[in-house]
């Protein structure tokens, strides 16, 4: 097995020096916004923590094991979250018989990275290698589930990593489109000339620290202001600072395979119907361009971070149907 992608336990002494969510409280603040059946309230509903040594980084992994599961799901967060925030989706998945692994992508959650190394391409490489590592662990197929920017990340990783069984995205927007960049940014300067400045002054600007809550519409990640405030203040997620290089490379990222030629796996787009952070029109344009097998579901009343009903139940039903079809293949 390639040492770049192999997943192995770190030596006990090293692992003991690394932080754990078991010792932190911040992530628990998200729990009340999810139904009781999705909360992490005990050993059976809390992910197992481990570390993956990858390219000199210690990548934190949350895993909900299910040895008899016919399918494994890699759960991907966006720039306002981290793997433990995705735990309610993992709890739900295991209840339906699927195993999950949720990474903290570099720079977010507990996965630290030197600022000079943090680019969006590093995220894509990390997910592509994690897919390969999970495929090498056993023969079960691997699917992807991405929330927010994690949806596009899942698409981009599937274009690089062969053998992905299928992917679910709550949003799919091409950041190369000016309309998408304008919608992402908190103000018109960042959404228009701001990117031009980042690109043309990158030798100077790339290392500048940027607060995610001020450059993006983190205040609209939920339609509940209290939940949006938790996300925006969370220093492990939406309240973090990233180098301008990460934002520039994210907004410039081209997929390995354009949608018009993508047929690597089936895609389910389950877009929140009341999303005030990423307008549904952006995802629909991307969806219409997709050449391969695809399915669209609109989640009634759900915001960008879908916690509202009936959209949350609709998301559960659509994803479970989709994953069961993948497992049956």
Determine contact, residues 297/111, Cβ cutoff 8 Å. no
pLDDT at residue 146, rounded to an integer: 98
> Among the listed ranges 6-15, 43-52, 122-131, 296-305, which one has the minimum average pLDDT value?
6-15
pLDDT of residue 183: 86
Kindly compute the dihedral angle of the four CA atoms of residues 128, 133, 134, 137, in this order, to the nearest 10 degrees: 160
Query: Residues 250-283: pLDDT tens digits?
Result: 988 999 999 999 999 999 999 999 999 999 999 9
Name residue 145's beta-bridge partners. 75, 168
Residue 194 has a pLDDT of 67
Tens of pLDDT, residue by residue over 72-130, are 999 999 998 999 999 999 999 999 999 999 999 999 999 999 999 999 999 999 999 99
| Domains of the chain: residue spans and CATH | 12-182+258-328 (3.40.50.1820)
Buried b (16+ CB within 10 A) or exposed e, 231-263: bbebebbbbbbbbbbbbbbbbebebebebeebe
Worst-scoring range by mean pLDDT, 111-115, 186-190, 311-315? 186-190
What span, in angstroms and rounded, lies between the C-alpha atoms of 238 and 6? Answer: 30
Alpha helices in 192-307 (DSSP H): 193-200, 202-205, 212-215, 225-233, 244-252, 280-289
User: pTM of the full predicted structure?
Assistant: 0.93
């Amino acid at each position: 097995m390639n040492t770049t992608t192999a997943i192995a336990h770190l030596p006990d002494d090293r692992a003991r020096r690394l932080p754990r969510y078991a010792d932190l409280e911040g992530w628990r603040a998200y729990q009340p916004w999810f139904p009781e059946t999705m909360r992490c309230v005990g050993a059976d509903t809390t992910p197992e923590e481990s570390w993956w040594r990858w390219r000199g980084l210690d990548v934190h992994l949350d895993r909900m094991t299910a040895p008899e599961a016919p399918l494994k799901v890699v759960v991907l967060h966006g720039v306002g979250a981290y793997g433990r925030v995705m735990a309610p989706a993992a709890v739900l998945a295991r209840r339906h018989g699927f195993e999950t692994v949720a990474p903290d992508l570099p720079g977010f959650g507990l996965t630290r990275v030197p600022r000079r190394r943090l680019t969006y391409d590093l995220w894509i490489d990390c997910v592509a290698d994690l897919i390969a590592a999970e495929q090498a662990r056993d023969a079960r197929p691997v699917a992807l589930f991405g929330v927010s920017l994690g949806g596009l990340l899942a698409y981009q990783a599937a274009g690089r990593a062969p053998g992905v069984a299928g992917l679910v995205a709550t949003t799919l927007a091409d950041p190369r489109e000016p309309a998408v960049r304008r919608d992402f940014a908190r103000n018109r300067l960042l959404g228009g000339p701001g990117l031009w400045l980042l690109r043309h002054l990158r030798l100077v600007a790339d290392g500048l620290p940027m607060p995610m809550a001020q450059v993006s519409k983190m205040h609209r990640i939920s339609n509940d202001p209290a939940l949006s405030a938790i996300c925006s203040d969370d220093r492990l997620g939406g309240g973090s600072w990233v180098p301008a290089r990460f934002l520039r490379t994210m907004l410039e990222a081209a997929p390995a395979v354009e949608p018009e030629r993508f047929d690597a796996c089936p895609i389910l787009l389950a877009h929140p119907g009341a999303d005030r952070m990423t307008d549904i029109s952006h995802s629909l344009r991307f969806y219409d361009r997709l050449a391969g097998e695809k399915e669209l579901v609109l989640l009634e009343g759900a915001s960008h971070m879908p916690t509202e009903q009936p959209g949350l139940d609709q998301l559960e039903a659509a994803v479970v149907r989709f994953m069961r079809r993948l497992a049956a293949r």
